[in-house]
Amino acid sequence: MHSERICVEFRNQICNMELAIDTSSNIVSVALSHKGEILASLTWQTLQNHTIELLPNLVCLLQQAKVELGSIEAIVVAKGPGSFNGLRVGISTAKGLAFTLSIPLLGVNTLESEAYPFAFTELPLRPIQKAGREEIATALYRQKDNEWQCLEAENLTTVKTLCRRIKQKTLFCGEIPAGIIREIQQNLGRRAIISQGNSPSRASSLAILGWQKLSKGEHDDPVTLQPLYLRPPHITKPRERTPFLSPRVEQRIQRNGNSQIRC
């Protein structure tokens, strides 16, 4: 596996756990929790190899934590926005496990999982995700009076357009490229607070948010849960193929033009 960074933390072994899976980007993470309390987590860097790396690393986490798959009572998965292939791998794996184990499945917004570790600041929280074509994916969250709120749903915009809308001190978080950070700081100055890269893994946030939904009786249908894409995936249109004609038919076409050729 092309793993650049692996972090594992373990606590006491407990039964009846939740498993969280995040494959939204090239920084992948999985976590085990009990009622939203993180027990073990694993994070690694991939080179677009989600398909071949997710299950081996998931098995590694379970083995090192000495946890049987049957101890898992719910699956939480990042549903996007994010990497087209990564989200497909994560959600397909989560669906398969939920179906096999007959346990609840919960999809959580990736941007929400980026913002949640900073809820304690009670600042407006702007998770940022590069979306290509000079666009970014963003949303707006805030915790106020102990209530976690989504103030703006996920959407595509540009840094310049977003900065024009921001009038108060705001915390920006997520895997923000250096160029976008500079542009935000140049446009907003002291109104922009940029999070440092020491926040918990997205899978850890997913586990907490997933448990909050589960404790309210919420869950998703494995059949209908789909990745959240803010832009349709780019699919190359197949080239038109010239139909094969036998030499005899080609000679007739050249001789008679396009007029009623019989094979």
Angle between helices 84-101 and 50-65 (to 10 degrees): 40
Q: How far does CA 202 lie from the centroid of its chain?
A: 9
Tens of pLDDT along the chain (263 residues) come to 444 444 555 445 567 899 999 999 999 999 999 999 999 999 999 988 899 999 999 999 999 899 999 999 999 999 999 999 999 999 999 999 999 999 999 999 999 999 999 999 999 999 999 998 889 999 999 999 989 999 999 999 999 999 999 999 999 999 999 999 999 999 999 999 999 766 678 999 999 999 999 999 999 999 999 999 987 665 444 444 444 444 554 455 455 554 443 33
Radius of gyration of the chain (CA): 24
Whole-angstrom Cα distance, residue 69 to residue 55? 12
Q: Which two tokens stand for residue 45?
A: 């860097």
Half-sphere exposure of 33 (CA within 13 A, CB side): 25
Q: Which two tokens stand for residue 85?
A: 């292939």
Q: What is the DSSP string of 95-107?
A: HHHHHHHT--EEE
pLDDT at residue number 132:
83
pLDDT at residue number 198:
60
pLDDT at residue number 248:
55
Q: How far does CA 218 lie from the centroid of its chain?
A: 20
Q: How far does CA 214 lie from the centroid of its chain?
A: 20
pLDDT at residue number 200:
76
Q: What is the pTM of this model?
A: 0.83
